[in-house]
Structure 1
Amino acid sequence: MAATRLPYIRMILGGRFPQGTKALHQQYGDVVRIAPDELSFIDGAAWKPIYGTRVGHGQKSKDHRFYAPTPGEAPSIIVSNDADHSRFRRLLSHAFSESSLRSQETIIKGYIDLLMQRLHENIDGGTSTVDMVAWYNFTTFDIIGDLAFGEPFDCLKNSEYHQWVSIIFSSLKYGAYANVSVWPSSQRLFEFVSVSHLTASHSPANFADAEQFIPERHLDNPRFANDSKTAMEPFSFGPRNCIGRDLTYVKMRIILTRMVFNFDRELDQPEKNWMDRECFVLWNKPKLMIKLKPRVHSKRS
């Protein structure tokens, strides 16, 4: 890793970058060199100095290989420089604020109502399985389409991805190919640093029973008193963290509540390894086949 970028490139092109980085941290510790010019950290204390700001210093420069704007196109909020990013963020922040989301709650709930309706129509009374990855994605893109553009992509209505949504998914892999490069040592102008999301959140150094889904760890449970809660930042950290965090929480809470209320759920393939998946910027999620059985609620007198 210290001598050449080839192992790094191989991990990215194979869609195994998160898993490969995790394996390196398991072998070498909290800080590892994943390329001649790049270091990966998993300590929670690394988030602020890497992704945050300091008075008089501003933000650190971003990796130009990943954040390069498309030639001939105006830069988006993701790849824009600090000044433009701050301007974009100010313009968009109100739309994603808690008060704004409350005012849009009727729209959000409308699509979740449609999700429940479509699931009931497709489960044959509990005898058929449905791919919940697809249905959750349909709901997400319809909500985002309506909130951002004033009309949905009609994924829920048509039970399939809109062509533009399909293009987004297919382009992620090509983006990974476009972002890799072999840099001669003479052109090593910077040392790139990052925090590995997957590894930091699944490291025994940060969490007890790190590979287990145990929601109680986020409560006052003495078993997890030594967990490093600051190591997990699923929406990233600092001025460029995910602007849609509050929207995500709203959708998750309502959808989860409605799913629990409406259906009993059974995983169709419990033996499948859901974590061993390709990742090209986003995870390539497999089908999540679930048998849903409508719940019967007794009427209260």
Structure 2
Amino acid sequence: MMYTTTDYNSISLYRLFRNASGGQLATSVLAILVGHFVIRGIYRLYFHPLSKFPGPKSAAVSHVPEVLATWQGEQHKRVALLHERYGSVVRIAPDEVSFVHADAWKDIYGHGSKGTLGGMPHKPWHRHTNPNGATSLIIAQDADHTRMRRLFNPAFSERALKQQEPLFMKYVNLLAEKLHEGIERDPNHKFDMLKMYNFTTFDVMGDLTFGEPLQMLSNATYDPWVTAIFAATKTGTRLGLMVHYPLVEKAFKALIPPSIMTKKRYEHHKFAEERVTKRLERGREHKGVDIWDLVLNKSEEKGLSRPEMDNNAGLFMIAGTETTATLVSGLTAMLLDHPRAMKKLTTEIRGAIKTPEDMTIERCAALPYLNACIKEALRLYPPVATGRPRVSPPEGSTVCGHYVPPGWIVSAPHLAMYTSASNFKDPVSFIPERWLGDARFESDKRHALQPFHVGPRDCLGKNMAYHEMRLIMTRVLHTFDLELCEESGNWRDQHCYVLWEKKPLMCTVKAVI
């Protein structure tokens, strides 16, 4: 009987294990494993398609540094430090290269001109599905994304936002009313402004998305739905790390019942589904203007299915709320840390707007220092600090002059890019004047700041977010002086799990009007 070389190797390996004692077997297995990791490490360091990119050897050979940093909520800091050490392009994992060059936005996330990535999603996005099996804007393939985006665009246009101005004003005025009530009861009352901002943005988006608020400002407490959203963020980020270790993921899923793994996601979906049902039952005759007023006619014509409505409603309740509250909280903290900037901004607001009734979207948008402060806050405290990974297309891609072979991950991390000395002078200092033509900052690469991304998958609601940020900050600073409480010092020193793990922002408030 004839044996091939493979047969002889298999027979020899079988005889080795059959004849080995327990100790010898363990030693043999250990040797095989060590050999495997050594050979893989050598390949990743010297022969891998990404081996030409600079970066630490530990990141090139293993996902462990990335996993540990992400688990601890420190990945945003790790990536920023790596760029500070290695430059504008860094290999941050065996399969991923990070760019902080200002042109990386168009090369990675642009509209898909030849040789660019054209909005292709990172592979793990394809692993994510909604409980009802339907898609949504954030995970949709290109054709579905284009169709849904075309349906929702009118609801986020400047014309629609102007129609919704009374709704925005209703809740920013209610925020001011609740602050007044608190200090009337106790002039030394401490407010968690983070909560107050969250209450406001979730009530606004609840009304816009479902035609009714979550009553969080009125009840001064988080709706159970919002609590579920916050609880799922950190856990979801950590569980997502198992994508790097399929065997661990398989074992984990075998040990943990699926009902526990998906409980928070199903809770979130159920909340959205119930509220969409109530909104659709009211039809187009309810009072006010919300997203569905501007979508329902078109959805019947172009085919926005009911499951897609549920999924996108749930998406809007995350993307259109927490991120806006994050930014105004961060800006409040930075202004309180920089009294000169706070004084300059309150002077501008109170000089331009005499009474709360004078506040409009247009008047707030015309305040230059306010806009500069918002941009500077987005730079130093972007609501999403890390990058959105993309996969190089089959023909490969050139990013900022660097050819990336096909099938590997690239990203542009927000915080690392915005705090890089290669893009901004005094990169970690809060200086709104850099956005107002100050000659000291002529060398700043302003186009590096893209907090809402670029290309076909940029943020649909960015105009709404800017209007809401300006209205909230203007209303609060027009009427109140704020003082940061001692326990909220170093407020921006936070962990990040895609979204920031924020601490209470405790302030005392004094009415000036």
TM-score by length of 1: 0.92
| Residue 147 of structure 2: aligned partner | 87
Structure having the larger proportion of residues in helix = 2
Deviates most, 124-133 or 8-17: 124-133
| Residue 59 of structure 1: aligned partner | 118
Distance change >3 Å, CA 60–CA 106, structure 1 → 2: closer
Q: 1:115 aligns with which of 175, 189, 199?
A: 175
Question: Bigger relative contact order, structure 1 or 2, given CA contacts below 8 A and separation 6+?
Answer: 1
For 1:191, give the aligned amino acid. W
Q: Distance in 2 between matches of 1:95 and 1:210?
A: 36
Provide the identity percentage: 41
Q: Distance in 2 between matches of 1:213 and 1:96?
A: 30
Unaligned runs of 5+ in 2: 1-58, 247-404
Q: Distance in 1 between matches of 2:104 and 2:181?
A: 48
**1:204-255: CA deviation from partner (whole Å, max 9, x where unpaired):** 1111111111111001110000001011111111111111111111111111
| Residue 37 of structure 1: aligned partner | 95
For 1:26, give the aligned amino acid. E
| Residue 78 of structure 2: aligned partner | 20
Distance change >3 Å, CA 290–CA 67, structure 1 → 2: farther
Q: Distance in 1 between matches of 2:130 and 2:226?
A: 23
SS of aligned partner of 2:65: helix
Q: Distance in 1 between matches of 2:206 and 2:169?
A: 14
Q: Distance in 1 between matches of 2:484 and 2:448?
A: 30
Q: Distance in 1 between matches of 2:66 and 2:113?
A: 34
- Based on CA coordinates, which of the two structures has the bigger radius of gyration? 2
Answer yes or no: is the 8 Å Cα contact 2:487–2:506 preserved in 1.
no
Answer yes or no: is the 8 Å Cα contact 1:6–1:182 preserved in 2.
no
Q: Distance in 2 between matches of 1:35 and 1:189?
A: 16
| Residue 316 of structure 2: aligned partner | none
Q: What is the CA distance between 1:190 and its match in structure 2?
A: 1.9
Q: What is the CA distance between 1:269 and its match in structure 2?
A: 2.7
CA-based RMSD of the aligned residues comes to: 1.9
Answer yes or no: is the 8 Å Cα contact 2:488–2:505 preserved in 1.
no
| Residue 102 of structure 1: aligned partner | 162
Q: What is the CA distance between 1:112 and its match in structure 2?
A: 0.8
**1:50-76: CA deviation from partner (whole Å, max 9, x where unpaired):** 001134677242112145332652122
**1:272-291: CA deviation from partner (whole Å, max 9, x where unpaired):** 22332111111111111111
Q: Distance in 2 between matches of 1:154 and 1:200?
A: 38
Q: Does 1:226 align with 2:285?
A: no
Q: Distance in 1 between matches of 2:428 and 2:119?
A: 32
Q: Distance in 2 between matches of 1:292 and 1:238?
A: 41
Distance change >3 Å, CA 71–CA 93, structure 1 → 2: closer
Q: Distance in 1 between matches of 2:91 and 2:469?
A: 36
TM-score by length of 2: 0.55
Q: Distance in 2 between matches of 1:251 and 1:71?
A: 28
Q: Give the number of aligned pairs.
A: 293
**1:27-71: CA deviation from partner (whole Å, max 9, x where unpaired):** 111111111000111111110010011346772421121453326
Q: Distance in 1 between matches of 2:138 and 2:239?
A: 16
Distance change >3 Å, CA 30–CA 291, structure 1 → 2: same
Q: 1:156 aligns with which of 217, 230, 239?
A: 217
